[in-house]
Structure 1
Amino acid sequence: MNLQIETLEATKLALIERTRKHSFLARCRAGTVTLDELKLMLVQQGLYSTYFTRYLCAMMANLPSNQEVLALAENLFEELGLAPDSPRPHYLIYRDMLEHFGLTLERARPLPGTRQLIDAMFANCRDPNPARGLGALCLGAEALVPAVYSDILAGFSACGAQPEELEFFRIHVECDDGHAETIRDIMVQLAAGDNDQIDQMLEAGRHLVDARLAFFSSIETAHHLAWVAAEPEAA
């Protein structure tokens, strides 16, 4: 079991490092990302995050017993605003953040990378083998959040945004490490004595990181195309 934990932790760190090497996040850390790019990211991330409780429920439906379902229920309750220390649904916190920046998800359309990310998460969470959904949600999402959201917060800070304007990101930096550990513990139990399950988890995590990188690349491409299209008007 210790070897399984070591394998999962090593893969988690490698996937975090790989994700943070993307130029979008590197520019967030360097303070060279633009506010327009960050606002575009907010809308696209909002489209992906809208489905988060459904990703989680789809994966929970494939868990082998109610014990694992109960362990993950805390994550679900926090998302829905039903936990004592998280009394407000996270989607409302995100909506308030969007409104502060003059944004809305109404009539917003997902970029190709956003659609790829949504489809990848649903595909893994709906897989009858729960190892796929667990790997996707842990290694490909929750485990990345503290590092990725910290980079995004740095980008917003460089653009003059105040911490209180970004509550959604701040609370997830603080709580998602615990969520990842909860899922990891279930992964270890599920994979006990079955290395094939570990391989499935790692593959799903890598699949989601590939999709996340495509998500960031889509944002950069869309922003560049919008900038090029606006150039003649500026001239």
Structure 2
Amino acid sequence: MEALLEKSGSKTPLIAGMSLIWADWLKEEDLQDLVEHPLLQALERNEASLATVRTLLIQHSHYSRHFTRYLCALMGQLSDPADVMALMENMREEMGVDGGSAITHAEMFQRTLRVVGAAPASHAPLPQTLAMVDTMMGHCQSSDALAGLAAMCLGAEAIVPLIYRPILQALQHHGFGEDATEFFSLHIEEDEDHALTMLAIMQRLTLDQDARREQAIAVGRELIARRVAMFDAIWAHCQTQPAAAPAAAPAGHFSSADFWRVPSQLQAQLPERLSHEQVMAASQGGDQAFSSERKHKVHIVDLPSRTISLTIGRLEEGEATRLHRHNYETVIYVTQGQGYSRIGDRQVPWRAGDAIYVPVWAEHQHVNTGAEECVYLACENAPLLQNLGGIALREELSA
């Protein structure tokens, strides 16, 4: 663990990396319970398995999926319109209105879950996670706005860097790129500003009222204790899971230390998921985020393939994809509609039943010229390049 900051005046020392502005509101022993938790320590030391990371992300999703409800409930208890507007800035960032993000923070987190292979539906919320949700919501719904402010500020926003940095470290260690890490890096940068906004309101509500200030501190301590209890349950759950067989290849990537893991004979290893039912009908958050980035409808075929990917693209009448290029190959099969693709300096017409090939790094764009929606399947070898060392590259050439 990082060294503790030395005392500054009358302030209690805090964990390194946190501003001393929190010394009057957060207790050193609570923060130590958090950062010294074996779960976060394992993440920070690159000792947490990918299964552990997935379990943590799933439980965090069960808690964080209610974030906008927490915030809305809190804003409903504030009497000063200026305070409501101040917290609305947080809401606007969450919804992707501010901050330059094309997708909401919720969609960004769903993309993380999809890329990492953490399916919330695969594991019910632990009792300690539900207790965390209920405690946070109860304080945010309290008629005393100070309770909700303390819960959100001291029990969440102010301590985000302490929690998200180890998660970010673990994701990077397991070889995941920006699609998986952007949510955490963004919140590490932004959430202290949100916390300071809430702190300013708390300072005004507790001005010269020591009892009120102690009440707010107690709420923050309760929420940190709930989070530590949730981490306890996650860690205990992960410790009881059967260990991977010694000869199993490490998840995510190989290094020179793994050369001996090459087997002497082939053996089928069946993953848990072998089908993705009703791909187009069951569009998930990740699809919405992907479509937002691509500027047209795209459905991701979510299967555990390590070398190829398959997506279903859709173009409305007169719609076109953005001009782009990438260093992975693409084979496209058109199932409905007609149009053309600009590939390099050539224009390639197509209609339902045709297949087209897009070479590596050739700039290209697909255009629907028909009177109905165009639907096509795109098969690419991007996962192969990603698993070879994160060398897949895509470049957008038009807005």
Structures share a fold, TM > 0.5? yes
Are residue 9 (structure 1) and residue 23 (structure 2) matched?
yes
Q: Where does 1:72-91 land on structure 2 (aligned, <5 Å)?
A: 72-91=87-106
Shift of 1:163: 4.3
Higher relative contact order (CA 8 A, sep 6+): 1
Higher strand share: 2
Are residue 176 (structure 1) and residue 191 (structure 2) matched?
yes
Structure-2 separation of matches of 1:77 and 1:26: 33
Task: Tell which deviates more after alignment, 76-85 or 40-49.
Answer: 76-85
Structure 1 unmatched runs, 5+: none
1:137-178, Cα deviation, whole Å (9 max, x unpaired):
111100010121011112223333334421111110110011
Q: Percent identity?
A: 32
The amino acid across from 1:58 in the alignment is A
Alignment TM-score, normalising by the size of structure 1? 0.89
State which of 119, 127, 130 in structure 2 corresponds to 1:104.
Answer: 119
Match of 2:177 in 1: 162
Match of 2:239 in 1: 224
The amino acid across from 1:106 in the alignment is A
**What's the C-alpha RMSD, in Å, of the aligned pairs?**
2.4
Task: Name the CA shift for 1:10/1:158 in 2 (closer, same or farther; >3 Å).
Answer: farther
C-alpha contact 2:116 2:176 (8 A) present in aligned 1: no
Task: Name the CA shift for 1:7/1:85 in 2 (closer, same or farther; >3 Å).
Answer: closer
Match of 2:66 in 1: 51
State which of 54, 57, 66 in structure 2 corresponds to 1:42.
Answer: 57
Structure-1 separation of matches of 2:207 and 2:23: 16
1:40-74, Cα deviation, whole Å (9 max, x unpaired):
11111111110000001111111121111011100
The amino acid across from 2:157 in the alignment is E
Structure-2 separation of matches of 1:164 and 1:106: 21
Structure-1 separation of matches of 2:24 and 2:174: 34
Task: Name the CA shift for 1:150/1:84 in 2 (closer, same or farther; >3 Å).
Answer: closer
State which of 108, 128, 145 in structure 2 corresponds to 1:113.
Answer: 128
Shift of 1:197: 1.8
C-alpha contact 1:116 1:214 (8 A) present in aligned 2: no
Q: Where does 1:134-149 land on structure 2 (aligned, <5 Å)?
A: 134-149=149-164
Structure 2 SS opposite 1:106: helix
Structure-2 separation of matches of 1:69 and 1:107: 37
C-alpha contact 1:12 1:143 (8 A) present in aligned 2: no
Task: Name the CA shift for 1:150/1:8 in 2 (closer, same or farther; >3 Å).
Answer: closer
C-alpha contact 2:59 2:125 (8 A) present in aligned 1: yes
The amino acid across from 1:151 in the alignment is P
Match of 1:68 in 2: 83
Structure-2 separation of matches of 1:171 and 1:7: 22
The amino acid across from 2:127 in the alignment is P
Match of 2:226 in 1: 211
Q: Where does 1:15-26 land on structure 2 (aligned, <5 Å)?
A: 15-26=30-41
Task: Name the CA shift for 1:35/1:215 in 2 (closer, same or farther; >3 Å).
Answer: same
Alignment TM-score, normalising by the size of structure 2? 0.54
Structure-2 separation of matches of 1:217 and 1:7: 28
Structure-2 separation of matches of 1:194 and 1:86: 40
Structure-2 separation of matches of 1:94 and 1:7: 29
Greater Cα radius of gyration, structure 1 or 2 = 2
Shift of 1:13: 6.3
The amino acid across from 1:159 in the alignment is H
